[in-house]
Chains A and B, each alone.
Chain A
Amino acid sequence: MRISLNWIKRLIDLKKSPEEIAKVLTSAGLEVESIEDNSSKYKNFVIGKILSVEKHPNADRLSVCKVQIKRGKNPVPLQIVCGAPNVKKNQKVAVGLVGAIVPKNQHDENGNPFELLKTSIRGIESNGMICSSYELDLGNDADGILILPKNISVGSSLSEYLGSEDVVFELGITPNRADCLSHLGVARELAAGFKKNLKPITKNNFRKISKQLKEKINVEIVDQNLSPRYSALVIKNIEIKDSPKWMQNLLISVGLRPINLIVDVTNFVMMEIGQPLHAFDYDLIAGKKIKIQTAYELEHFFTLDGISRNLSSSDLMICDSQNSIAIAGVMGGENSSITNETKNIVLESAYFSSTSVRRTAKKLGLSTDASQRFERGTDPNITAKALELAAELISEICADAKVGKIVDAYPEKIKRKEIKLRVSKVSKILGVKIETDNLVELLKSIDIEIEQVGNAILKCKVPTYRPDLIQEIDLIEEAARLFGYDNIPNAITSSVTFSEHKTNRNLLNEIRIYLSSNGFNEILTNSFVTDDKAKLFSENPTNVKNPISTDLSSLRSSLIPSMLEIIKFNLNRGNLNLQLFEIGKIYFSGSENLSGKYFQSYIEQNVLLIALTGFASEKNWFSNQRNFDIYDAKGIASNILKKILFDNIELISYDENENGEILISMNGILVGKIFKISDEIVKLYDIKEEVFVFELQLENFEESNQSDKKFKEISRFPKTSRDIAIVVDSSLHQKEIFEKIKSSGGKYLQNVKLFDLFEGESLGKDKKSFAYRLEFQSSEKTLQDKEIENAIAKILNELKKNFNASLRAQ
């Protein structure tokens, strides 16, 4: 909301700096987002008269002008070199003097301002600049200088002519402060803040001017709930012309475009006191009757912007004796709007139900200055005053206008709401004691009427322009605001509570720290993916009804699509070796057998995804380069599982499926997968490199509880290692041999490690060799060679029996 200081001064006498005003507004809860100070914008710009124009001796397109900038007898004219084609003798022009800051530079790409200096252009001295409207930031015309009317006086300041000396505050008005969507509302806050009184809104001469016309319009409210009050006023014999310069300037300063007297006056009244007005062409109203009732089901109606709107029986309409003529509180109709031929008007000033206006505006997707105010709540008791103000303004400008009497349909007057305020509650909530007298004084400053019931309770009657004041807490907020947040002490009492339940935050952090310490980079990606990418990983992805774009219409059911996007992004930017991970949520819905924690039909789960692509080790002075492969992914998977499961790592088992994927199960439940992303999928992302991933469902894991762990004795007896190399059929999988060694190795076998893998002709056809290092240790004694040899013999025997394995010849 733009608030003009000049405008505020119509309502309150204020001699404060913009900064002081901003401070009061901000501490009142009307956040000043910016201050636009135009008061010095045209400093050093004056009105000049061109006395002579001569050709520049050294440049075809330039002229040398003598410009009079002072009044009086024989003032010394300024010599200015000018490049505009339209410069002529006797023109009145805007002259920037040396030292002036020209708001816009037409030779600068961004139009940045620049300071005028005394210069010499092609050998001729130039002492200023004759400006175009672009350069003055008044319009887009940069082709020639701005030519001003003949009747303005030479030497006067440009800002005086433009009426542009103003300060505009951009305020962030919160939805509860509907009353501050007008200068009156803001002036009220300033009056409270600076302890001043407001000036009267009107000149109080309505009674005088309204005697000229007997004519009245007939108003009938059919639905009193939706339209508690409807005031109307007929004004005849008006002339559609421009509004006066002062009014235009004020409207422009708050961002409204002047159109004509009637539109401008309605806008002016709305911006000044917050009451939206609508003007109908009186001659187009059938039966000279206004009826406020809901629309017909499936009614079509052309609003004044020429668009057909579909309405239903819940939308409130303004009708004449035959047709709808406006959508109440939202927009007028094409059939009754004023035109340049309009002679007689009827002004509407109403109070509509905020909910009704909001529903209609939202349904139609039509938000207007009027609807924004009605839907937040206007003051029911200002409608007549608004008409008086409008009538005064119109008759000041159109001397022949004839003003009627206000027709005021207001079946049941809306009174001030009464709210009880407990003085003790104020100090309980705020944590500071405000004395009753002080409290009363604070609340009275914003026009709250107070009746004291003893010392404990205040009966507060709140003004009707404050629909946000409904219950006690609203008054406590007003008290806090007026008392000043800064005046409430800062306290902190320490009372520590401890969690009774665990989140998996520490688990996730453990994984993050582990991975980042081991060279992995965490990424965070969008939860939304394209529908087609979502379908790669889920049969029926969860779709958003109102996505920001069709590109991002589904919630991800896997972290892989967004991971691949990030890999592609990085590869395209030359980041070729990637070890990335993400911990994030995936979402499921639609399936019948879901049973989510919060909603039966929706599930969200935390998942870890690790992706590897490029070189595991780059070419280096100490090693050769090596690409990542599936064993890198398997390795980190196993590291992480050990990290988060500790002793329970035994619960994990690895299997493989027909697609060449490694499946990870815990207690027989699938919890993760390790695989290479298929060629078809990477192709969809334009990725040529191999990408290996490890995916882990984190919901299945709980935070490890180290506090329950007990120390396991470390053996004090020596460890003995033996290596064995065996030859088996090449179809055999390592895991089977490994398991067999472990199961047959006896109680002293502590560790089995594969350290070599060999295939070659020397072994014979379809044979391969595995070499293992076996570690034996006892916690009770030093092992004898004999015991170790027995164990190895038993292992070899089992391997021979089960896999026809032989010892490899040394």
Chain B
Amino acid sequence: MNQSKISLELKIDLLHKEISKEVLSSNELCDEFRLKYLSRKGKVAELFDELRTVSAEEKPKFGKTLNELRNYANNFLEDSLKNFSSQKEKQKIDLSLPGRELHQGSIHLITQTMEEIQNIFISMGFDIELGPEIEDDYHNFEALNFPPDHPARDMQDTFFLENDILLRTHTTSVQIRIMETKRAPIRAIMPGRVFRNEAISVRSYCLFHQVDGVYIDKNVSFSELKGTLISFAKSFYGNNIKYKFRPSFFPFTEPSLEMDITCFLCKGSGCRVCKNSGWLEILGAGMVHPNIYKKVGYNADEFSGFAFGMGVERIAMLRHGISDIRILYENDLRMLKQF
């Protein structure tokens, strides 16, 4: 009796150890396991049969241990099955499939370039001012020191809506509108769309975008103008650029200048884009002409100031190697997505 009791205890223990050492890595092995331990004639059932041989007072104790063993075997099988199938599941996920992408959106290159220019001037303390695209002769020409019949008007071919109403040829017209409503100090940039009556070709479109700027205060000098433009150019084109200033002519500024920087395609050695000069013109500027102060009722001896302007399309085209301006207005999706 005693022997059978001990042996049952031992058998339970041994079987527990045996089960714990099983490795169930396939369906077949799991089936075998079930048959071997958990079937009606399995090893666990065999031990339950032996329960008959133990005494009545010991039965509950062995019954409990055997139940625990059966649960252990069941759990062991279940866990193995779970483990084993989740591994299988893992192998089924193909992570090389493409992800679910959104459409690729974009902001137009001209808008981006214009924003970049504006942000630089904003960081230097310039305001943003806007004005109308439909403008009158006074603000676009006369107040800017383009007298009627003046040859300087030939520089800008104009679209007219009426004799006196036109599409602005530059955003410099906004400068007059600011000065009409505000006293100095004035420090603002005027971005926007401008129009020129030129045939549409590789190099010209009937409209383009400009960022003009103006700074008027008590002691604003040519020297300050140069400093401002250099700061802008370095910020926009990089600290290492070389630059030069050339005298030029605009009716609304005097002295006037044009600013060139080293061609960023050939780095100054000369190429098709810079017409072998090694330089690229990037903007025009100058000191606000005394006649303009007169027009808007400022005292030209009290104030001085500068104005500048640049074409956004030109800058974007040079920078990104676009040789045909029309590409910017065709809006081919394949172009839009590049920027």
Contact = CB atoms under 8 A, between A and B. Distances in A.
B255 A476 contact: yes
A604 B103 contact: no
Interface stretch (A382-390, A522-530, A691-699, A741-749): A522-530
Nearest to A542: B161
B223 A490 contact: yes
Contact of B228 (A362, A492, A566): A492
A527 B161 contact: no
A165 B102 CA distance: 65
Interface in B95-153: 97-98, 100, 102-108, 110-111, 115, 118, 124-136, 149-152
B206 A522 contact: no
A524 B110 contact: yes
B245 interface: yes
B89 interface: no
Nearest to A495: B125
B134 A599 contact: yes
A544 interface: yes
B198 interface: yes
Nearest to A176: B249
B105 A579 contact: yes
Interface stretch (B47-55, B62-70, B79-87, B330-338): B330-338
Contact of B223 (A471, A491, A527, A604): A491
Contact of B98 (A177, A520, A621): A621
Interface residues of B, number: 85
B33 interface: no
Contacts of A481: 247, 255
A809 interface: no
Nearest to B289: A473
Contacts of A528: 206-207
Interface in B315-339: 328-334, 336-337
Given A431-B222, A477-B256, A526 B206 contact: yes
A648 interface: no
A175 B125 contact: no
B interface SS class? mixed
A524 B248 contact: no
Interface stretch (A65-73, A121-129, A505-513): A505-513
B165 A622 contact: no
A548 B132 contact: no
Contact of B224 (A358, A431, A598): A431
A213 to B, nearest CB: 39
B187 interface: yes
Contact of B221 (A429, A473, A570): A429
B301 to A, nearest CB: 8
A525 B331 contact: yes
Interface stretch (A28-36, A321-329, A773-781, A791-799): A28-36
B134 A604 contact: yes
A496 interface: yes
A482 B175 CA distance: 29
Contact of A492 (B219, B227, B331, B332): B227
B106 A521 contact: yes
Contacts, number: 234
A255 interface: no
A45 to B, nearest CB: 24
Interface in A569-615: 569-570, 573, 575, 577-580, 585, 587, 589, 596-599, 602, 604
B206 A26 contact: no
B169 interface: no
A523 B198 CA distance: 22
A546 B165 CA distance: 12
Contacts of A570: 331-333
B193 A527 contact: yes
B185 interface: yes
A521 B336 contact: yes
Given A27-B247, A376-B151, A519-B105, A491 B130 contact: no
B217 A31 contact: no
B308 interface: no
A497 B219 CA distance: 16
A486 B195 contact: no
A524 B125 contact: no
B283 interface: no
Contacts of A362: 149
B223 A599 contact: no
B15 interface: no
A619 to B, nearest CB: 13
A31 B108 CA distance: 34
Given A430-B223, A503-B128, A526-B207, A519 B247 contact: no
A376 B150 CA distance: 8
B244 interface: yes
A515 B246 contact: no
B231 interface: yes
Contacts of B247: 27-29, 477, 480-481, 485
Pick the most buried of B126, B128, B161: most chain A CB atoms within 10 A of its CB. B161
Contacts of A579: 103, 105
Contact of B206 (A548, A578, A585): A548
Contact of A602 (B134, B289, B304): B134
A622 B129 CA distance: 49
B221 A517 contact: no
Contacts of B193: 527, 585
Contact of A174 (B231, B248, B255): B248
A547 interface: yes
Contacts of B329: 524-526
B165 A599 contact: yes
B248 A31 contact: yes
Contacts of B110: 524
B14 interface: no
Nearest to A22: B277
Interface string B211-229: 0000001010111101110
Contacts of A543: 161
Given A429-B221, A493-B224, A494-B124, A598 B105 contact: no
Nearest to A588: B134
B133 A545 contact: no
Contacts of A26: 246
A575 B185 contact: no
A42 to B, nearest CB: 21
Contact of A569 (B155, B255, B330): B330
Interface string B292-314: 00000000000010000000000
Nearest to B135: A598
Nearest to B115: A509
A176 B252 CA distance: 12
Contacts of A580: 331
Contacts of B195: 527
A545 B161 CA distance: 5
A167 to B, nearest CB: 15
Nearest to B257: A485
A546 B160 contact: yes
A355 interface: yes
A589 B161 contact: yes
B255 A480 contact: yes
A524 B154 CA distance: 28
Interface in B156-181: 159-162, 165, 167
A601 B312 CA distance: 30
Given A491-B224, A547-B159, A359 B333 contact: no
Given A358-B149, A473-B254, A480-B255, A575 B333 contact: yes
B268 interface: no
Given A175-B249, A480-B255, A512-B111, 7 more contacts: A485-B245, A492-B228, A494-B125, A523-B108, A545-B162, A555-B161, A598-B132
19 contacts: A175-B150, A428-B219, A429-B287, A485-B247, A491-B224, A497-B127, A498-B127, A512-B111, A513-B107, A521-B331, A544-B159, A545-B162, A548-B200, A555-B161, A569-B330, A575-B333, A579-B103, A587-B134, A602-B161
Closest 7 CB pairs of A and B: A519-B103, A431-B221, A431-B223, A29-B247, A174-B249, A492-B227, A496-B125
